[in-house]
């Protein structure tokens, strides 16, 4: 078991035989460079190597017409003139005598990968293929794509393994219209694509690439388009899109398999995409998808034309699949205005189809505002202005990639992935591979000084645990250990957390995220100075005592926990950029082991994997579940029982509104926020940064004393549907799922509630939603 890497060197054979500036970027070096870099980094060696095979014609026939397959087969015998003439019949396509062989290998590679993952031979994997696939249609080659590798794999997974729900995530910078057409009326495949769109002015110039296209007939709600109307999208924009659009829908959909159309032309430096996501962003995006489908994630190369950027991004994706901790995201975690507008538009278009969106505020955006490059026509290719912009972008990419490589060198993988502190009673616990027991303990005077004053009842066992936790915190902040788990006696839980916080600060951590679930008091002498972000789930009420001291009431349903993680915890955590995350599961935390595992798995991203989880010794199974995910295993699938409580949703909405002015990653749409003035959208997010110990950076604003900023109008009705929901406390709404296993509201009360919402439920809705 492990991560599969599927490849065949023959896929580097196809190449452009004539002059065509549009097609020349799709070159053999894309594959060879990526593979070479995986070897250099020692990543290929850690994977299960699978040789690609050629797909059979029957397999191609799962998506393509026999006539089209015959046309492509025929290209093997054509001369260059004939190949060029045939290529000219399609948009942005070239054929080579080896194209048929390569394209069949590309499909076959993806099928090998899907078979390996669905038979359990591998947990997940990557297929490095050429030609790409997502633009290809039933009888049409398009955009360098000949056969639709991912679509065929999805069909294959359904036929051979009887899968009912497959998620396709297309993070390539172009719209995979081929995949969209193939599954647009199909509720068994949820297709998400973000893409450079520029209001329809970017290739392939299709109105159906816009957010309003949500699918056809029974497939309505299963096509999700997130068009980027500006170039220059950054890490914050991509993560915001995942947290606020893709992931809520994906968890509600509950896929059995995740296929990623992994184009890296959405990364920095790419001449096609002109976006700015740095390589580690793809580690984070992949890591965020691993909790779906029990970790059955198949990643398939699509585009990506900047060889350096491509190679590094591929490495980061593989590291995520291997379960390695991520490099923390670089850049300011503030999404740009245009990104927020796009996110808001797709949420509004999809809200009729997804409960998870209905239960979150969908405030109307103000009129589209001008962004830095908006209003001005993009420079025409060939103009001096265009050449200048391209040179500047290339230089910016070179700087960003070299600083990425510096950061990579500065943050080597800690020798130990996970260390666990156990009391003697837990001796018979089976530790997953990669997990070691923390035996060493702080000794003598130092331990006395740190631990003794905190041991409530001066029990020796507590003292021993505290000494080990002390060493563990040191190990994590020194880079010796990536993460840890400590099981403490209940009586020592608060003291252990307090000591871990103080030790972290003492060792120079600039920002500590404390996520406390259940009843554990905030240490009374803890300064609210922006160094600690204290987030308590399970307190009496929803309130933000400051921007760094936030309480969420006990969550009543699994769906509520998910909304809390995606809509509150992760946006705050990614915005805060903690040096260390402390997760404490205190008395009566109420989380099932699978929920706690999900929480811990998803919290790995923001701190680059530096997590210390504190649990109670009475539940060794919980410690084991956490050890699994922290050492890199996928958390178990939540399954179809997930529900959201309306009351919880309202609490979360209330907090999000209060906190969004300071925590920009929470912003989905803030109708009261002033728009940036022309040309300011990029400047306004470039907060000043201060260098801190360890080479990281920190936004100065988080050093300031927190100020509670209340938006005007908060006292009024809480948003659409709020009035109608009063008196329906404690009621839960079962999720809506696809007709292939879609669950409609089961109980009377829930159905009524859905009708009270501003957006009609799937059942209440009469006519088709926004068409183009
Ligand atoms: N400058 C893939 O990435 N050319 N295909 C567009 C706009 C076609 C991209 C021209 C790009 C095809 C798989
Ligand atoms: Zn692309």
**pLDDT category of residue 456 using cuts at 50, 70 and 90:** low
What pTM did the predictor assign? 0.87
**pLDDT category of residue 114 using cuts at 50, 70 and 90:** very high
> pLDDT: is 712 or 302 the higher one?
302
671, pLDDT greater than 80: no
732, pLDDT greater than 50: no
93, pLDDT greater than 50: yes
Q: Tell me the CA–centroid distance for residue 70 and ligand 1, in Å.
A: 25
Least confident of 86-100, 112-126, 375-389, 542-556: 375-389
Residue 187 backbone phi and psi in degrees, to 5: -80, -5
The predicted structure's pLDDT at residue 466: 87
> Comparing C-alpha atoms, which of 735, 765, 767 is closest to residue 750?
735
Distances 161 to 120, 166, 330, 370, 639 between C-alpha atoms, Å: 12, 12, 40, 49, 18
Q: Tell me the CA–centroid distance for residue 207 and ligand 1, in Å.
A: 17
Please state the rounded mean pLDDT for residues 161-190: 98
531, pLDDT greater than 60: yes
Tell me the pLDDT tens digit for each residue of 656-665.
Answer: 999 999 999 9
Q: Which residues contact 322 (CB under 8 A, 6 or more apart)?
A: 2, 3, 43, 46, 47, 632
Ligand 1 atom nearest to CA at 172: 3
Query: Mean pLDDT score of the chain, rounded to an integer?
Result: 84
- In DSSP notation, 601-629 reads HHTTTTTTT-EEEEEETT-HHHHHHHHHH
- Pick the ligand that lies closest to the CA of residue 25: 1
Q: Tell me the CA–centroid distance for residue 177 and ligand 1, in Å.
A: 12
C-alpha to C-alpha distance for 606 and 597, rounded to whole angstroms: 16
Q: What is the 3-state secondary structure (H, E, C) of 14-29?
A: CCCCCCCCCCCCCCCH
507, pLDDT greater than 90: yes
Query: Residues 624, 661: contact at Cβ < 8 Å?
Result: no
Asked whether 696 lines ligand 1 (CB < 6 A), one says: no
Asked whether 132 lines ligand 1 (CB < 6 A), one says: yes
Ligand 1 atom nearest to CA at 381: 1
> pLDDT: is 574 or 708 the higher one?
574
The predicted structure's pLDDT at residue 324: 97
Query: Please, which contacts does 81-86 make with residues 24 or more away whose CB atoms are closer than 8 Å?
Result: 83/17, 84/17, 84/18
Residue 608 backbone phi and psi in degrees, to 5: 65, 35
The predicted structure's pLDDT at residue 620: 84
**pLDDT category of residue 317 using cuts at 50, 70 and 90:** very high
> pLDDT: is 770 or 666 the higher one?
666
Asked whether 270 lines ligand 1 (CB < 6 A), one says: no
**pLDDT category of residue 754 using cuts at 50, 70 and 90:** very low
Distances 226 to 144, 269, 343, 584, 760 between C-alpha atoms, Å: 22, 21, 7, 36, 22
Query: Residues 107, 147: contact at Cβ < 8 Å?
Result: yes
**pLDDT category of residue 618 using cuts at 50, 70 and 90:** confident
What CA dihedral angle connects 13, 19, 21 and 25, to 10 degrees?
10
Query: Residues 694, 508: contact at Cβ < 8 Å?
Result: yes
Least confident of 124-133, 365-374, 390-399: 365-374
DSSP reduced 3-state for 317: helix
Ligand 1 atom nearest to CA at 134: 13
Please state the rounded mean pLDDT for residues 478-494: 92
669, pLDDT greater than 70: no
C-alpha to C-alpha distance for 16 and 31, rounded to whole angstroms: 15
**pLDDT category of residue 631 using cuts at 50, 70 and 90:** very high
252, pLDDT greater than 80: yes
> Comparing C-alpha atoms, which of 3, 725, 605, 682 is closest to residue 361?
725
What CA dihedral angle connects 212, 217, 218 and 223, to 10 degrees?
-30
% the chain with pLDDT above 90: 70
The predicted structure's pLDDT at residue 260: 99
Catalytic residues: 135
Q: Tell me the CA–centroid distance for residue 203 and ligand 1, in Å.
A: 7
Nearest CA to ligand 1 atom 9: 143
The predicted structure's pLDDT at residue 471: 94
Asked whether 303 lines ligand 1 (CB < 6 A), one says: yes
The predicted structure's pLDDT at residue 458: 55
Please state the rounded mean pLDDT for residues 608-634: 93
Burial string for 274-304 (b: 16+ CB within 10 Å, else e) reads: bbbbbbbbbbbbbbbbbbbbbbbbbbbbbbb
536, pLDDT greater than 90: yes
% the chain with pLDDT above 70: 82
168, pLDDT greater than 80: yes
The predicted structure's pLDDT at residue 426: 56
Q: Tell me the CA–centroid distance for residue 303 and ligand 1, in Å.
A: 8
- Look up residue 708 and give its two tokens: 């509670």
- Pick the ligand that lies closest to the CA of residue 132: 1
Ligand 1 atom nearest to CA at 91: 8
Least confident of 16-30, 471-485, 537-551, 716-730: 716-730
645, pLDDT greater than 90: no
Probe target for ligand 1 pocket from 144, 149, 173, 200, with the most ligand atoms within 8 Å of CB: 144
Q: Tell me the CA–centroid distance for residue 4 and ligand 2, in Å.
A: 23
> pLDDT: is 116 or 672 the higher one?
116
The predicted structure's pLDDT at residue 375: 44
Nearest CA to ligand 1 atom 8: 143
Nearest CA to ligand 1 atom 10: 203
The predicted structure's pLDDT at residue 447: 76
Least confident of 191-200, 254-263, 617-626, 749-758: 749-758
Asked whether 721 lines ligand 1 (CB < 6 A), one says: no
Asked whether 144 lines ligand 1 (CB < 6 A), one says: yes
The predicted structure's pLDDT at residue 424: 64
The predicted structure's pLDDT at residue 106: 99
C-alpha to C-alpha distance for 666 and 350, rounded to whole angstroms: 19
């Amino acid at each position: 078991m492990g991560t599969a890497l599927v490849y065949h060197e023959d896929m580097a054979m196809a190449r452009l035989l004539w002059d065509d500036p549009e097609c020349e970027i799709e070159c053999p070096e894309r594959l060879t460079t990526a593979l070479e870099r995986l070897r250099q980094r020692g990543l290929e060696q850690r994977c299960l190597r699978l040789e690609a095979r050629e797909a059979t014609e029957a397999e191609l026939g799962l998506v393509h017409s026999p006539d089209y397959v015959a046309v492509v087969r025929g290209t093997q015998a054509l001369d260059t003139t004939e190949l060029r003439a045939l290529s000219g019949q399609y948009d942005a396509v070239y054929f080579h005598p080896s194209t048929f062989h390569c394209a069949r290998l590309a499909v076959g590679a993806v099928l090998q990968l899907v078979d390996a993952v669905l038979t359990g031979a591998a947990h997940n994997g990557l297929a490095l293929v050429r030609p790409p696939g997502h633009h290809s249609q039933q009888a049409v080659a398009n955009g360098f794509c000949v056969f639709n590798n991912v679509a065929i794999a999805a069909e294959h997974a359904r036929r051979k393994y009887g899968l009912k729900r497959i998620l396709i995530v297309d993070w390539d910078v172009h719209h995979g219209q081929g995949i969209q057409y193939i599954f647009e009326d199909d509720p068994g495949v949820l297709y998400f694509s973000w893409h450079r769109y520029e209001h329809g002015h970017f290739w392939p110039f299709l109105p159906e690439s816009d957010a309003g296209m949500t699918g056809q007939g029974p497939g309505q709600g299963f096509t999700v388009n997130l068009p980027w109307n500006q170039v220059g999208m950054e890490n914050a924009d991509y993560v915001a899109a995942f947290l606020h659009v893709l992931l809520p829908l994906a968890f509600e959909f509950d896929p059995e398999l995740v296929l990623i159309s992994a184009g890296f032309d959405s990364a920095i430096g790419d001449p096609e995409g002109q976006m700015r996501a740095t390589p580690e962003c793809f580690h984070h995006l992949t890591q965020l998808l691993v909790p779906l489908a029990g970790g059955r994630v198949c990643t398939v190369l699509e585009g990506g034309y900047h060889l350096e950027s491509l190679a590094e991004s591929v490495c980061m994706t593989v590291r995520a699949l291997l379960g390695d901790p991520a490099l923390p995201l670089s850049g300011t975690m503030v999404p740009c205005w245009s990104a927020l507008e796009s996110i808001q538009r797709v949420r509004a278009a999809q809200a009729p189809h997804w409960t998870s969106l209905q239960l979150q505020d969908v405030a109307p955006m103000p009129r589209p505002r001008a962004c830095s490059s908006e209003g001005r026509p993009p420079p025409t290719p060939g103009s001096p202005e265009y050449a200048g912009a391209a040179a500047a972008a290339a230089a910016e990419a070179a700087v960003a990639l070299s600083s990425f490589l510096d950061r990579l060198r500065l943050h080597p993988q800690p020798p130990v992935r996970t260390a666990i502190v156990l009391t003697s009673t837990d001796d018979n616990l089976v530790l997953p591979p990669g997990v070691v027991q923390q035996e060493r303990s702080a000794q003598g005077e130092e331990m006395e000084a740190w631990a003794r004053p905190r041991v409530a009842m001066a029990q020796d066992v507590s003292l021993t645990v505290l000494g080990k936790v002390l060493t563990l915190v040191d190990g994590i902040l020194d880079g010796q250990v990536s993460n840890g788990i400590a099981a403490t006696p209940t009586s020592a839980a608060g003291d252990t957390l307090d000591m871990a916080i103080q030790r972290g600060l003492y060792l120079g951590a600039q920002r500590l995220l404390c996520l406390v679930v259940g009843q554990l008091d905030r240490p009374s002498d803890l300064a609210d100075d922006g160094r600690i972000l204290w987030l308590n789930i399970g307190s009496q009420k929803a309130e933000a005592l400051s921007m760094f001291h936030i309480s969420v009431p006990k969550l009543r349903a699994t769906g509520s926990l998910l909304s809390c993680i995606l809509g509150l915890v992760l946006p705050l955590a990614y915005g805060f950029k903690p040096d260390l995350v402390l997760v404490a599961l205190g008395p009566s935390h109420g989380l099932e082991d699978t929920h706690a595992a999900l929480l811990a798995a998803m919290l790995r991203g923001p701190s680059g994997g530096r997590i210390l989880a504190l649990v109670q010794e009475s539940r060794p199974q919980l410690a084991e579940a956490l050890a699994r995910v922290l050492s890199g295993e996928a958390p178990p699938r939540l399954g179809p029982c997930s529900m959201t409580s309306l009351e919880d949703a309202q609490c979360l909405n209330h907090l999000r509104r209060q906190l969004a002015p300071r925590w920009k990653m929470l912003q989905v749409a803030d109708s009261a926020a002033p728009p940036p003035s022309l040309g300011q959208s990029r400047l306004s997010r470039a907060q000043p940064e201060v260098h801190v110990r360890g080479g990281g950076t920190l936004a100065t604003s988080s050093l300031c004393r927190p100020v509670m900023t209340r938006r005007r109008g908060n006292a009024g009705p809480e948003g659409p549907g709020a009035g109608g929901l009063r008196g329906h406390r404690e009621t839960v709404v079962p999720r809506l799922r696809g007709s292939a296993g879609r669950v409609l509201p089961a109980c009377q009360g829930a159905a009524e509630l859905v009708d009270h919402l501003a957006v009609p439920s799937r059942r209440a809705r009469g006519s088709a939603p926004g068409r183009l």
